[in-house]
């Protein structure tokens, strides 16, 4: 199983949108794909996938919800819509460990983990416990987002997780009236950061009103930019992960 | 980042690590324990050691050593200490082989 973390330094850049579409694209390629919404404080994946039911338990393990060909677990499935999760770091770390260990994920080919924004407890727990094969950093073209993207990238470098590349979301907008491309949040920022840090720019995803509406309805559709993103990630994914050490004295 | 290829117990008091650049490190276990960088052993602001060298029992040795993600090792010690994560970067700096010891001073 390959574990891919989808991360961002800053919130609101479309990280969950990228994670959902990436998981769906991988499933459409025939891979058995799991999606963990690790954004404990602001889980949005159940809405995007139109999931209403709660996961069931079997032999003390949570059974992930199967939807559109992927297997999903999210904090949003365990709380009611408007209940905020107000937890300290150790609680978050514990729950994420439960999500990794006590969910009957089955024999997955790909496991996509949608991280909360930033570089905090959840990120640290997952880099320590989930043995990630690679991370994808999502950003928008503005300088404030790029600054945080650099921080996110450095966090993964510090803990030796290969960064597969940068995804620039909300890259541009094609007007449905004049068919002209508009670079609403400036242009080329993701590419510049990728070049500066020596990692690939995996995709430039346009602002797409149809996609936004589809996600709000809980009926996402894998469009071409996301298919290309999945192809690129499969290309960049390291073939082998270094082994683990366990020594009894 | 350099990574260990193998880790092994050389003897009761010595941990051996062979790195992917083929360098062979050796560590006296008490020295490793004294150089734990966890928040209980080292001041997080000043970096100053909280336990003074020589204040630990001489017979301190690991019970288990396990990977932490892909960047370090967690050592559980026989004196009950278990919160230390030794990053590969720190471990390489702490190498006590005869050539490294003459180059790099022990962490103060």
A-to-B residue pairs, Cβ atoms closer than 8 angstroms: 54
The reported pLDDT for the residue numbered B107 is: 53
| Residue A198, domain CATH | 3.40.50.300
pLDDT in tens, B39-96: 889 888 888 888 766 777 778 999 999 999 999 999 999 999 999 999 999 999 999 9
Which residues in chain A touch residue B63, judged by CB atoms under 8 angstroms apart? 248-249
- A49 C-beta neighbours (distance < 10 Å), count: 23
| Residue B44, domain CATH | 3.30.2020.30
Model confidence at B21: pLDDT above 60: yes
Mean pLDDT of A109-115: 96
Contact flag A249-B66 (C-beta cutoff 8 Å): no
Contact flag B70-A245 (C-beta cutoff 8 Å): no
Higher pLDDT, B37 or A176: B37
How many CA atoms are closer than 13 Å to the CA of B41, on its beta-carbon side? 19
Residue range of the domain that includes B80: 4-103
Q: How far apart are CA A46 and CA A53, in angstroms?
A: 9
How many CA atoms are closer than 13 Å to the CA of A47, on its beta-carbon side? 14
* Interface predicted TM-score (ipTM) of this complex, two decimals: 0.87
Model confidence at A133: pLDDT above 80: yes
Residues β-bridged to residue B64: A248, B76
The reported pLDDT for the residue numbered A31 is: 97
Q: Is A70 helix (H, G, I), strand (E, B) or coil?
A: strand
Whether residue B55 is contained in a domain is answered as: yes
Whether residue A247 is contained in a domain is answered as: no
Question: N- to C-terminal Cα distance for chain B?
Answer: 24
Mean pLDDT of B26-33: 93
Whether residue B108 is contained in a domain is answered as: no
The reported pLDDT for the residue numbered A73 is: 94
Lowest average pLDDT, out of A148-152, A209-213, B104-108, goes to: B104-108
The reported pLDDT for the residue numbered A42 is: 82
How far is CA B81 from each of CA A73, B35, B56, B77, rounded to the nearest angstrom? Answer: 35, 13, 11, 5
């Amino acid at each position: 199983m390959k574990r891919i973390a989808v991360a961002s330094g800053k919130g609101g850049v479309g990280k969950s949108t990228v994670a959902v579409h990436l998981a769906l694209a991988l499933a459409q390629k025939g891979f058995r794909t799991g999606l963990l919404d690790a954004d404990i404080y602001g889980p949005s994946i159940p809405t995007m996938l139109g999931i209403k039911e709660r996961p069931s338990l079997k032999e003390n393990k949570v059974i992930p919800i199967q939807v559109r060909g992927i297997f999903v677990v999210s904090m949003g499935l365990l709380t009611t819509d408007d209940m905020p999760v107000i937890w300290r770091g150790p609680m978050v770390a514990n729950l994420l460990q439960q999500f990794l260990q006590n969910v009957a994920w089955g024999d997955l080919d790909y496991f996509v983990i949608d991280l909360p924004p930033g570089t905090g407890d959840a990120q640290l727990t997952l880099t320590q416990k989930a043995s990630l094969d690679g991370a994808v950093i999502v950003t928008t073209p503005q300088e404030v987002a790029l600054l945080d993207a650099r921080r996110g990238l450095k966090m993964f470098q510090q803990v030796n997780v290969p960064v597969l590349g940068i995804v620039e979301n909300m890259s541009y907008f094609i007007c449905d009236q004049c068919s002209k491309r508009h670079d609403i949040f400036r242009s080329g920022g993701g590419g510049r950061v990728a070049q500066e840090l020596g990692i690939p720019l995996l995709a430039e995803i346009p602002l797409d009103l149809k996609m936004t509406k589809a996600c709000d309805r809980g009926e996402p559709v894998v469009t071409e930019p996301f298919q290309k993103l999945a192809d690129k990630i499969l290309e960049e994914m390291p073939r082998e992960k270094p082994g683990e050490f366990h020594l009894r004295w | 980042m350099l990574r260990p290829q193998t880790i092994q117990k050389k003897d009761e008091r010595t941990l051996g690590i062979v790195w992917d650049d083929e360098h062979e490190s050796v560590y006296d276990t008490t020295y490793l324990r004294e150089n734990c960088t966890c928040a209980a052993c080292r001041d997080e602001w000043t970096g100053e050691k909280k336990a003074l060298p020589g204040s630990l029992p001489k017979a301190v040795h690991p019970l288990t050593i396990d990977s932490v993600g892909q960047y370090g090792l967690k050592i559980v010690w026989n004196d009950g200490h278990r919160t230390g994560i030794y990053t590969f970067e720190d471990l390489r700096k702490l190498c006590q082989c005869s050539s490294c010891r003459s180059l790099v001073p022990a962490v103060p």
